[in-house]
Amino acid sequence: MRITVSGPPGSGTTSLSKYLVNTHNYSLISAGEVFRSLAAEHNMNLSEFGRMAETDESVDLMIDTRQKEIGEARDNIVIEGRLAGHMIDTADIRIWVAASVECRSVRISDREGIDQQTAVELTIERESCEAGRYLKYYNIDINDLTVYDLVINSEVWDVADIGAIVDAAIAGLKR
């Protein structure tokens, strides 16, 4: 089983991915994990590598290529990342976790230790920048959710509820 979990920052993709890994004993590959490993391979800290990614399109391409290679080479894996649903051709289930920018900014504010208004501004800026890169590099409109099998609003349900929905989907595929 290959499951992709995508969504904007603060939507709950990491929480859902961890739930699926723990519940189903799957392995996890995340774009963030790939980003960290590539930063280390380049002898850079995350901030330095992030700045490089803003000016060097090969960074995004490296991350996406590495995640795709790992995700398509393994079974019983959860692939978490904004583009995972678009990139993993062999996915059994593609999930998009949604939430409003207001909801997500509260989560990001709590997680990052920044004020909520700053979180809103940074989130909108980041999403705009990413959307432009995805369109430029891959001709992917990140707001087109038609590639996803499930689009779940994490403002409505908590991770256990969302996990139960996904569990039902997995059970349905296994029949």
What are the structural domain ranges in the chain? 2-98+148-174
Residue 46 confidence (pLDDT): 66
The residue among 79, 32, 127 whose CA lies nearest residue 119 is 127
Give CATH superfamily name and number for 2-98+148-174. P-loop containing nucleotide triphosphate hydrolases (3.40.50.300)
- For 76-120, what is each residue's pLDDT tens digit? 999 999 999 999 999 999 999 999 999 999 998 888 888 888 888
- For 10-60, what is each residue's pLDDT tens digit? 999 999 999 999 999 999 998 877 877 888 898 987 667 777 887 888 888
Is the pTM higher than 0.85? The answer reads: yes
Query: Which of the 8 DSSP states describes residue 92?
Result: S
- Residue 92: other Cβ atoms inside 10 A: 15
Residue 174 confidence (pLDDT): 87
* CA 20 to mean position of chain CA atoms: 14
**Could you tell me the two tokens for 83?**
């583009």
User: How far apart are alpha carbons 170 and 149 in whole angstroms?
Assistant: 11
